[in-house]
A and B are shown apart, each in its own frame.
Chain A
Amino acid sequence: MSTIGKRSTGGAVIPVRKRSFFRTLGSQWQLMLMSVPIFLYVLLFNYGPMWGWITAFQDYKPKLGLFNSPWVGWKNFEWLFGREDFLNSIRNTLAMSVINLVFGTVSSILLAILLNEVRVRAFKRTVQTVTYLPHFLSMVIVVGMAQNIFASNGAINQMILSLGMAKEPVFFLGEGKYFWWLVGVINVWKEVGWNTIIYISAMTSIDPSLYEAASIDGAGRFQRILHVTLPGIKSTFVILLIMNIGHLMEAGFEIQYLLGSSVVMDWSQTIDVFVLQYGISKQQYGVATAAGLFKSVVAIVLLVAANSIAKKLDEATLI
């Protein structure tokens, strides 16, 4: 067993590895025992249903099933991409995803660092507990509150008016240009504490002696954050970033559906909302699957790109 370990650190000679692939595999039976069952499980549960993707090329009817539904070629895709509002929903999806990604990542890392600097343990735990609570509120509740706060006579507008920053109340909820940003802000409000957990737990693996050493070297607080804390969570950050880049086609639908209204439809409609409106609830299974397939393909392209950039930069990679 110890030879394997050595090989891994030594960067094995290629011919050797080739010749002995199955022998190596055999000697790794313990690793296989620990991983292959789940691998097969995933093949069954996640890849098993993938036959469903062929409905993207069908006019699928549940009653007829997969084998008897008529084939329509690329028609579902043509229909989707022929619609201006679908293209628009791609733009909205990407815009809101990017805003969410940037806001979400920055805010949760910032909070994690601030929490990490707290020395009083009880205070740290209290702040951490309180900030993650909104995660458990349903989106309906949070959006409802946000709508009251951002209404023409809501708290934000009253503040703006009393500070003299504007003469008229700002129509936050009725003008498209504010919509994406509102979604970003609400998501941060609701999820910042929850998203922080992963970074806090990553910080626990930072060796305390590193802080000690930095202090002895005369590093101030900001330098310690910069040279110890941030490098300590870098791989977590990079991995999450790669994963989230793959998820850029998912901006959700709940918040947009709740916060949006017909007057901001051009900015609020995401791919998922579109599919819900024209695909699923209209029994257009083929169209819904086509949109899903399109999303998956784009996701995989983005993922592979992000992953190989990370590899080039010599950072942690997902795959």
Chain B
Amino acid sequence: MKKVISFLLALAMVLALVPAVMAEGAPEPITLTVFRGDPGDQPADDNKIYKLIEEEFGVKFEFEFLAGDLDETLGLKIANEDYPDLFDGGNSADLLISNGALINLLDYISPEKTPRLWAHIEPQKARLIEKDADGNDVLYIIPNYGLPDGPQIALTVGGPAFFIQKQVLEWAGYPTIKTIDEYFKVLEDFITANPTDENGTPYTGFAILCEDWRHFCLINPVQHLMGRPNDGEVLVDVSNTDFHTETFIDKPYAKPYYKKLNDLFHKGLINKDTFVMNYDQYIAALSSGTILGMFDQAWDFGNATSALNAAGMYKNTFVALGPVYDPADVDGKEIEEHYLNGSLPNVRRGFGISVNSPYAERIVNMWEEMLSDKWQLIFNWGIEGEDYYVENGRLLMTEEQYNNTQDNTWIMHNKARAFFESSPKKQGWIMDGEFKGNCWEPGNQDEIVFGLMNDYDKKFLEAYGFSKFADFVNPPIELAPYGEAWQIDYTPVEIEHQDFLNIQDKRLPEIIMCDPAEFDAKWDAFVEEITPSATAFGNYMQEAILKEAQKVLGNE
């Protein structure tokens, strides 16, 4: 019996060696374990892109995606020191870094060894390369997004804005909306003239989604009314290098906005159900076209836009506006609108390599090779002839090919999404070679964007004399040296921050719904209640922002 077993073992070993011997010249095949801090689909076994990767690099992947709570998952992996080779910690990569789970990539990346990778991070290296406790230069994660080539592409407002149904503006004769008062006024006028839609369903003037982390719809607008792009929950003065930072919700300039909401509530433009609405109900309401306006981020309701378009309800889709306070609201100060920000590297988001991985050098070299035009085209556009076609030097997709890229099942077979999403990648414009002047991402390519645009939208843009929807707001301003404040890790003041958020979530709806006579008293009580946590959080952010800014300014 023993002999039989040992014979079988020997046979198995021989068989295992055969492919290695046969594939002479090709690198030794390895399997990399990968953790992604987001949910995702396992790629199909016959996935064509992973097949190419395996052929060229001898690398296979074993993916684990986030299934539960991110911090909990990372906590368990840290406690057990059970790390994959490629480790994407999602929003909480700070945990991995502070617990020493990731290697310093600078041991493998340099202008000489990896010219493409170096060129990729070089423009933002001040933001990306940090100092560790001993003062050494370290880079743990190469951002997965936000290092584009060429001038910034801003076709639409993809982030925060005050949205309004296109029919409202059409009805009002395509007015230009500059202030928040004008925005609310046009909503009010429209709803007075048209209380219900064609089916008799009453319109809701303004919706405020408050569910869980999506409460930014309730608590974030004031900074934009004050003329800043998205810094999360603080307002930063970028006019000088002091970068004075403060929480804005407890400041006098926040009050006028919530006072206006209180007015709207009593005029019936805000429905009290808005404060208990869950996300599905919100999307259902937007999709049925009865909500005329809201503050939100464009990606948060892309589904509703799809549903409206699918039903042919183009006039009920939304356009992003960038209103600011009227000078009367803020002691006569003129405010310049800035909803769009300069492009921002996704610092500490993407793959790092874990300290347990024996393949660091191989992985870095693979990334280096993958930043070539050949591989970037494969990842972004696919295989020529199957996934896209070329005409007169332009990269193009048929409608079917484009729709495929939105189909999760198709992607499992035909895209290396799970790997590519967290890997270093090229974005923006193709700067040289035969496809110079094309976009790396199909979704930014002119022919695709405008080829698929419906007639209502074309007419709508024409009425304003605009060429794209981003023209409704000012062009992006230059990114502040500290980046965007919401990216900053606030672990040390997490408890205070949670209190800070909870108080807003609880009190702001009360304030919006309260009797106007009680408004001032309620507001003062709110400010008093929130001041301790707001101060703790604000002070911490002030320091953190100066530190971030110092990284960039100090090196220049």
- A→B interface (CB under 8 Å): 62-63, 65, 85, 144, 147-148, 151-153, 171, 173-174, 258, 261-266, 277-278, 280-285
Contacts and interface: CB of A to CB of B under 8 A. Distances in A.
B271 A62 contact: no
B272 A277 contact: no
B66 to A, nearest CB: 13
B72 A280 contact: yes
B276 interface: yes
A124 B412 CA distance: 46
Contacts of A280: 69, 71-72
Interface of B: 69, 71-72, 75-76, 78-79, 95, 99-100, 210-211, 215, 271-273, 275-278, 280-281, 491, 494-495, 498, 502, 505-506, 509-510
Contacts of B506: 262-263, 265-266
B283 to A, nearest CB: 12
Given A62-B99, A63-B99, A262-B505, A283 B276 contact: no
A55 to B, nearest CB: 11
28 contacts: A62-B75, A62-B76, A63-B79, A63-B100, A144-B280, A148-B281, A151-B281, A152-B272, A152-B273, A171-B272, A261-B210, A261-B278, A262-B210, A262-B505, A263-B210, A263-B275, A263-B276, A263-B506, A263-B509, A263-B510, A266-B506, A277-B498, A278-B495, A278-B498, A280-B72, A282-B71, A283-B75, A283-B95
Contacts of B271: 152
Contacts of B99: 62-63
A174 B275 contact: yes
A265 B276 contact: no
B272 A65 contact: no
Given A147-B281, A261-B278, A262-B215, 13 more contacts: A65-B79, A147-B278, A148-B281, A174-B272, A174-B273, A258-B278, A261-B210, A262-B275, A281-B69, A281-B72, A282-B71, A282-B494, A282-B498
A278 B497 CA distance: 10
A265 B502 contact: yes
A173 B277 CA distance: 9
A265 B69 contact: no
A152 B79 CA distance: 48
A280 B68 CA distance: 12
A154 to B, nearest CB: 9
Contacts of A285: 75
A244 B78 CA distance: 36
A76 to B, nearest CB: 12
A274 B78 CA distance: 24
Contacts of A266: 506
Given A63-B78, A278-B498, A281-B71, A261 B272 contact: no
Highest count of chain A CB atoms <10 Å: which of B78, B277, B506, B510: B506
Highest count of chain B CB atoms <10 Å: which of A261, A262, A278, A282: A262
A266 to B, nearest CB: 8
Contacts of B75: 62, 283, 285
A265 B505 contact: yes
A162 to B, nearest CB: 18
A80 to B, nearest CB: 12
A173 B276 CA distance: 6
Contacts of A283: 71, 75, 95, 491, 494
